[in-house]
Amino acid sequence: MPTRTQRIMANLFEGWFQLPRRFPPELLDDMTAAIADGEHTHLGELRFAIESRLPLSAVWAGLDAGMRARQVFGQLGVWDTEHNCGVLIYVLMAEHRIEIVADRGIARRVQPEEWGAICRGMLDDFAAGHWRAGTLQGITQVHALLAKHFPSHGRPRPDELPDRPVLL
């Protein structure tokens, strides 16, 4: 676990946080399409949020990526889906952290290790400079878990939350 000082330095100087370079408009469009397409296979909702860095005051106060992901989960209303199976993929670029927060319906059925494996795969791809591949693979894997546990069986379903990734 990094120290508070290490986290402050990362949020000040880490190069990963160059959000427009890592997530250009074309990739955001591809992510939107992947989220929308995958949601046709299940009853869940997927949101993707990317934050370049945290305010230093928040880091100093002890806010970490997991806590911030839960805040964003609430702020974006990911918890407010008909089947309680919303999922948030949260990327904190400065600290090289990815968190997946799942609503209670899907969290009861998917083990934390499964979410952790998706996060590790994405981080490995990002570290190798494969931002597009890592992002789209992570989205695909979350959709696969949602389809396994909350299949749509081909029934039309309402799109309860926006599909476009959120840049914070």
Q: Give the C-alpha separation, 96 to 14, whole Å.
A: 9
Domain that holds residue 57: 4-167
Count the domains in the chain.
Answer: 1
Predicted local distance difference test score (pLDDT) of residue 14: 65
Which among 95, 84, 92 is positioned nearest to 45, based on CA atoms? 84
Q: How far is CA 119 from the centre of its chain?
A: 9
Contact predicate 99/119, CB 8 Å: yes
Mind listing the pLDDT tens digit for each residue in 97-140?
Answer: 999 999 999 999 999 999 999 999 999 999 999 999 999 999 99
- Binned at pLDDT 50, 70 and 90, residue 11 comes out as low
Which among 39, 107, 86, 94 is positioned nearest to 68, based on CA atoms? 94
DSSP state of 50: E
Assess whether pLDDT exceeds 80 at residue 4.
Answer: no
Predicted local distance difference test score (pLDDT) of residue 12: 62
Predicted local distance difference test score (pLDDT) of residue 21: 79
Strands 97-102 and 86-92: antiparallel
Predicted local distance difference test score (pLDDT) of residue 44: 93
Mind listing the pLDDT tens digit for each residue in 58-93?
Answer: 888 999 999 999 999 999 999 988 888 999 999 999
Q: How many CB atoms lie within 10 A of CB 47?
A: 22
Domain of residue 158, CATH code: 3.10.310.50
DSSP state of 52: S
Predicted local distance difference test score (pLDDT) of residue 19: 64
Predicted local distance difference test score (pLDDT) of residue 27: 97
Q: Which amino acid is at 138?
A: G
Predicted local distance difference test score (pLDDT) of residue 5: 79
Mind listing the pLDDT tens digit for each residue in 14-54?
Answer: 655 566 778 999 999 999 999 999 999 999 999 999 998 88
